[in-house]
A and B are shown apart, each in its own frame.
Chain A
Amino acid sequence: MTQSALHQILDYANRPNPYPIYEELRKTPVFHEDDGPYVISTYYEIRSLLHDPRISSDARNLTSTTGGGPAEPPQEESALPPGFLKLDPPEHDRLRRMTNRPFGPPHSPHRVDGMREELHDIVSGLIDGIGDTGRIDLVEQFSYPFPVTVICRLLGVPREDEARFHTWADTLAASLDPDPDADPAGRGKEAHDARMELGMYLAGLIEERRKNPGEDMLSQLATAKGGDGPMSTMELLSTAALLLIAGHETTVNLITNGMLTLLRRPDVLQRLREDPKLAVPLVEELLRFEPPVQLLPQRTTLADIEVRGVTIPKGASLWLVLASGNRDPQRFENPDRFDPDRRDIQHLGLGSGIHSCFGAPLARLEAQTALSELARRMENPRLLEDPPPYRQNAVLRGPRHLPIACDGIRP
């Protein structure tokens, strides 16, 4: 492994297929050069570190001066306190528990299960709305709007405000993924304005929900009783922002990567069309094969730790390359084959340990619903560009556009 290989991960030219680079990287399971991060690329080591209490997600523990070095992925700057994604226990546990209270079991076991019909309706509406089937951008017309709408419904954003919400989300997402051709200053200002407007909007909505709480998550978060009490407005804003950003980008990529993979494997697409239940194992395999979060770049060590004979010093920056662990032949047979019938599938696509994906069950249902419905309703779908154009982001990796065509839309 040469240093250039690390840069290759970040090199935009490799975005369509980073897997050969990961394969190379796995030859050095703990890769480190100069003052760069320690890059972990093999399954068992990644999984161990995800359960290792000597590993912190809190950047305040990072002492390595250069951090990720030139490879540092884009970070959003924000006046808000860090969301639980970037905190350690006990703060992480407390915030995650509070956020979970209106979202999942034990307190809200029917929230996600109860959204099945709504998810189906949103998907149906978006597919109905596809106009010209000669050229469809699946990202713009489907993968993108779907999860934003879902998050709006979850948080309780009034229907009439959903359009504004979409605009802010688009702008913020674009700022996370800078287009090299765009004017950076202009982009920065747009993103700043969008963040401010979104923040003010949410603050207003929170205020209103505190007075007139409904069944939505925002109301419940703002008025929660129980051991941990309600969230402060700042915590709420920070959590809402986390749900929006983390829950959105990842789902877009999961669905788009899924359709791309299926269009490259017409046999599987055909099976899914005939048997929508195949979506269940298929999405798990997709999370292994093309995980929407390729690597976790913000962990750090609280002590000197030894991994595969290499001592990683205290305060070092760690990258855990989930997408590489998912293709580790020491763990998975034929790892480069997309096989929805794979039985042994404990993938790292949604992480593991205490930071494992908060929205995982919702993401699963969204992807299952989206892919089975797209497969069922599109007649003879095909890729117009392969590979499609990708986003810049190497961490939240996925196509920026997915141009496809089909012969028509079935009812």
Chain B
Amino acid sequence: MIGDGSLERFKREGRIVVVGASLAGLRAAEALRDKGFAGSLTVIGDEPHEPYDRPPLSKQVLLGKAVADRTALPRLRSVDATWRLGVAAAGLDMAGRRVRLADGDEVPYDRLLIATGVRARPWPREAEAELDGVFVLRTRNDGAALARRLAAGPKRVLVIGAGFTGSEIASACRERGLAVTVAERGSAPLVGALGGVVGAVSAEMQREHGVDLRTGVMVTALEGDASGRVRAAHLSDGSTVETDLVIISLGATRNTEWLAGSGLGAGPRGIACDAGCRAFDVRGIVTDDIYAAGDVARCPHPLFGYQFLSLEHWGNAVTQARIAAHNMLSESIDRIPHMEVPAFWSSQFGVNIKSVGVPSLGTEILIAQGSLKDHRFVGVYGYQGRVIGAVAFDQARWLPFYQELIETTAPFPPPFPTVDRHSDGARPLDADFPDPSIPTHGPTVTLSGYSPADRRMTFTPAH
């Protein structure tokens, strides 16, 4: 539609529908208005709440320092949207360009942004999941209910799964003086995201703070009492944990069921998109009117061999929302790709954990600064001789440097000395991931440019 005025007309009087009223949905709506979209904007959300921020739910809220129903996101500008909250999207008619809602209503669109995110994976045995005292933590309502239970002083909390959320929950419980058992199938907490070397530090932190950490075990059954309240959990090692509050922290499931049969390339792993957030249909052909952003999107990333990465990261939601909004309102030549280096944070047991890149692609780790035993360090991850990720425990200010190494595919191990190098950092260690993903071979891509404002990709053909 280049030059025929249709884009201008669309910006003036078109219809954009955003499905998903969380971080990505809100930021996209704001960006659309910021970029001059004057047409009609509808935001659909299955929860009855206006967009709220999730990270506080597993931290401040569980500590009783903030209230779950008061975590609404700040508004960066007015969006002048029609909000359809408390009603989920139930279907998509790609040919007719309509979103069908659970209440039977249909909302027509010219362009659609899907930001339906993920939901907590429930306990697989339904009857046990129904027991009173069994929780997941994803939504504001989950947070409110869990905070109430914690405040009531349970005798022992059992957290199933020691990823970031599970570990944060355990940390909050200990800070509230509650007895906590953590059951993790892997060899250590955080092992899937950060590997065994760093996982061992995390295990040490948990135990030092009084968590009863059980690794290498699975919870085989939850047991209720006569009144339907959970009273115990049975573990695969034959042991039993008496507990009156169980928190299932087994990761997330993508909210794509409503797209089944629509013809969009959506499935349990998310919605496949191009680097500009345009969704693919099931035939592998990119659509031009449907975009995806946030946790539900899977985008190829130039720095990581164009693998389709789906990132459940706050920053990723914000960036993709901005990129999708920009591209929805641009001629093809003006579209921008998503090439921000992934980054996330967690805080637990008083330690600030931050990461850049994709540590889980790494096979080796070098403790470049600080030391594991002090729980203050920077670990650099290497894959096939290049730096691919980094993690910092209470050493956040150094991370921009390592991000630059990732962006420029700097060699691993880094061949230079640094301040604060200890014996830990003499040589790289096996990063010890349980199931390393192997990226495909391909050309090397680096990000270059004088300033972040004019960042560009530089291709180096494969050997």
Q: Which A positions have Cβ atoms within 8 angstroms of B?
A: 44, 47-48, 51-56, 88-90, 93, 302-303, 305, 330-331, 352-354
Please give, as numbers and ranges, the residues of chain A lying within 8 Å of B376 by CB-CB distance.
93
Query: Are A90 and B398 in contact, with the CB atoms below 8 A?
Result: no
- Given A53-B369, A53-B398, the answer on whether A302 and B420 have CB atoms closer than 8 Å is no
Query: Are A51 and B400 in contact, with the CB atoms below 8 A?
Result: yes
Given A52-B401, A303-B416, output 11 extra A-B contacts at Cβ < 8 Å.
Answer: A51-B398, A53-B368, A53-B369, A53-B378, A54-B417, A54-B419, A90-B370, A90-B374, A90-B420, A93-B420, A354-B397
| Majority DSSP secondary structure for residues of A touching B | loop
- 11 A-B pairs with CB atoms under 8 Å apart are A51-B397, A52-B401, A53-B368, A54-B418, A54-B419, A55-B419, A89-B369, A89-B370, A90-B420, A93-B376, A302-B416
Q: From A331, which residue of chain B is reached at the shortest CB distance?
A: B451
Please give, as numbers and ranges, the residues of chain A lying within 8 Å of B400 by CB-CB distance.
47-48, 51
User: How does the 8 Å CB contact mask read for B373-416 relative to A, with 1 for contact and 0 for none?
Assistant: 01010100000000000000000011111001000000000001
**Min CB gap B402→A, angstroms:** 9
Picked from B378, B404, B450, the residue with its CB within 8 Å of the CB of A330 is B450
Interface residues of B in 348-378 (CB under 8 A from A): 368-370, 374, 376, 378
**Min CB gap B348→A, angstroms:** 15
- Given A48-B401, A51-B400, A52-B401, the answer on whether A89 and B420 have CB atoms closer than 8 Å is yes
**Min CB gap B369→A, angstroms:** 6
Please give, as numbers and ranges, the residues of chain B lying within 8 Å of A331 by CB-CB distance.
451
The answer for the CA separation of A321 and B115 in the assembled complex, in Å, is 44
Query: Are A353 and B451 in contact, with the CB atoms below 8 A?
Result: no
Picked from B374, B401, B451, the residue with its CB within 8 Å of the CB of A51 is B401
Picked from B374, B420, B450, the residue with its CB within 8 Å of the CB of A53 is B420
Q: From B454, which residue of chain A is reached at the shortest CB distance?
A: A330
The answer for the CA separation of A54 and B416 in the assembled complex, in Å, is 8
Interface residues of B in 406-440 (CB under 8 A from A): 416-420
- Return the 8 tightest CB-CB contacts between A and B, nearest first: A53-B418, A303-B416, A89-B420, A88-B419, A51-B400, A51-B401, A302-B417, A353-B397
Please give, as numbers and ranges, the residues of chain B lying within 8 Å of A330 by CB-CB distance.
450-451
Q: From A29, which residue of chain B is reached at the shortest CB distance?
A: B450
Q: Which B positions have Cβ atoms within 8 angstroms of A?
A: 368-370, 374, 376, 378, 397-401, 404, 416-420, 450-451
Query: Are A53 and B451 in contact, with the CB atoms below 8 A?
Result: no
**Min CB gap A306→B, angstroms:** 11
The answer for the CA separation of A48 and B451 in the assembled complex, in Å, is 11
**Min CB gap A50→B, angstroms:** 9
Please give, as numbers and ranges, the residues of chain B lying within 8 Å of A47 by CB-CB distance.
400
Please give, as numbers and ranges, the residues of chain B lying within 8 Å of A44 by CB-CB distance.
450-451
The answer for the CA separation of A354 and B37 in the assembled complex, in Å, is 42
Please give, as numbers and ranges, the residues of chain A lying within 8 Å of B399 by CB-CB distance.
51
The answer for the CA separation of A89 and B420 in the assembled complex, in Å, is 5
The answer for the CA separation of A354 and B404 in the assembled complex, in Å, is 18
Please give, as numbers and ranges, the residues of chain A lying within 8 Å of B397 by CB-CB distance.
51, 352-354
**Min CB gap A52→B, angstroms:** 5
Please give, as numbers and ranges, the residues of chain A lying within 8 Å of B370 by CB-CB distance.
89-90
Please give, as numbers and ranges, the residues of chain B lying within 8 Å of A302 by CB-CB distance.
416-419
Best-surrounded residue of B368, B374, B378, B401 (most CB of chain A within 10 A): B401
**Min CB gap A393→B, angstroms:** 28
- Given A48-B400, A51-B401, A52-B401, the answer on whether A89 and B419 have CB atoms closer than 8 Å is yes
> How many residue-residue contacts, CB under 8 A, span A and B?
52
Please give, as numbers and ranges, the residues of chain B lying within 8 Å of A52 by CB-CB distance.
401
The answer for the CA separation of A352 and B378 in the assembled complex, in Å, is 18
The answer for the CA separation of A77 and B419 in the assembled complex, in Å, is 25
Q: From B415, which residue of chain A is reached at the shortest CB distance?
A: A303
Please give, as numbers and ranges, the residues of chain A lying within 8 Å of B368 by CB-CB distance.
53
**Min CB gap A193→B, angstroms:** 37
The answer for the CA separation of A89 and B416 in the assembled complex, in Å, is 17
**Min CB gap B96→A, angstroms:** 43
The answer for the CA separation of A211 and B299 in the assembled complex, in Å, is 64
Q: From A302, which residue of chain B is reached at the shortest CB distance?
A: B417
The answer for the CA separation of A94 and B201 in the assembled complex, in Å, is 20
Please give, as numbers and ranges, the residues of chain A lying within 8 Å of B374 by CB-CB distance.
90
Q: From B371, which residue of chain A is reached at the shortest CB distance?
A: A90
**Min CB gap A93→B, angstroms:** 8
**Min CB gap B342→A, angstroms:** 19
The answer for the CA separation of A44 and B450 in the assembled complex, in Å, is 8
**Min CB gap A40→B, angstroms:** 14
**Min CB gap B414→A, angstroms:** 9
The answer for the CA separation of A1 and B314 in the assembled complex, in Å, is 45
The answer for the CA separation of A56 and B404 in the assembled complex, in Å, is 19
Please give, as numbers and ranges, the residues of chain A lying within 8 Å of B398 by CB-CB distance.
51, 53, 353-354
Q: From A91, which residue of chain B is reached at the shortest CB distance?
A: B420
Please give, as numbers and ranges, the residues of chain A lying within 8 Å of B419 by CB-CB distance.
53-56, 88-89, 302
Q: From A53, which residue of chain B is reached at the shortest CB distance?
A: B418
- Given A53-B368, A89-B369, A330-B450, the answer on whether A48 and B404 have CB atoms closer than 8 Å is yes
Q: From A47, which residue of chain B is reached at the shortest CB distance?
A: B400
**Min CB gap B395→A, angstroms:** 9
**Min CB gap B140→A, angstroms:** 27
**Min CB gap A173→B, angstroms:** 30
**Min CB gap B235→A, angstroms:** 35
The answer for the CA separation of A302 and B421 in the assembled complex, in Å, is 12
Picked from B401, B416, B420, B451, the residue with its CB within 8 Å of the CB of A88 is B420
Q: From B369, which residue of chain A is reached at the shortest CB distance?
A: A53
Please give, as numbers and ranges, the residues of chain A lying within 8 Å of B420 by CB-CB distance.
53, 88-90, 93
Please give, as numbers and ranges, the residues of chain A lying within 8 Å of B404 by CB-CB distance.
48
Please give, as numbers and ranges, the residues of chain B lying within 8 Å of A352 by CB-CB distance.
397
Please give, as numbers and ranges, the residues of chain A lying within 8 Å of B416 by CB-CB distance.
54, 302-303, 305
**Min CB gap A100→B, angstroms:** 13
Best-surrounded residue of B368, B376, B418, B451 (most CB of chain A within 10 A): B418
Q: From B452, which residue of chain A is reached at the shortest CB distance?
A: A44
The answer for the CA separation of A47 and B400 in the assembled complex, in Å, is 10
**Min CB gap A55→B, angstroms:** 8
The answer for the CA separation of A44 and B401 in the assembled complex, in Å, is 12
Q: From B399, which residue of chain A is reached at the shortest CB distance?
A: A51
The answer for the CA separation of A352 and B397 in the assembled complex, in Å, is 9
Q: From B350, which residue of chain A is reached at the shortest CB distance?
A: A106
Please give, as numbers and ranges, the residues of chain B lying within 8 Å of A303 by CB-CB distance.
416-417
**Min CB gap A352→B, angstroms:** 8
The answer for the CA separation of A53 and B417 in the assembled complex, in Å, is 8
Please give, as numbers and ranges, the residues of chain B lying within 8 Å of A54 by CB-CB distance.
416-419
Q: From B416, which residue of chain A is reached at the shortest CB distance?
A: A303
The answer for the CA separation of A93 and B419 in the assembled complex, in Å, is 11
Q: From A308, which residue of chain B is reached at the shortest CB distance?
A: B450
**Min CB gap A6→B, angstroms:** 24
**Min CB gap B253→A, angstroms:** 37
The answer for the CA separation of A51 and B356 in the assembled complex, in Å, is 15
Q: From A305, which residue of chain B is reached at the shortest CB distance?
A: B416
The answer for the CA separation of A47 and B397 in the assembled complex, in Å, is 11
Please give, as numbers and ranges, the residues of chain A lying within 8 Å of B418 by CB-CB distance.
53-54, 302
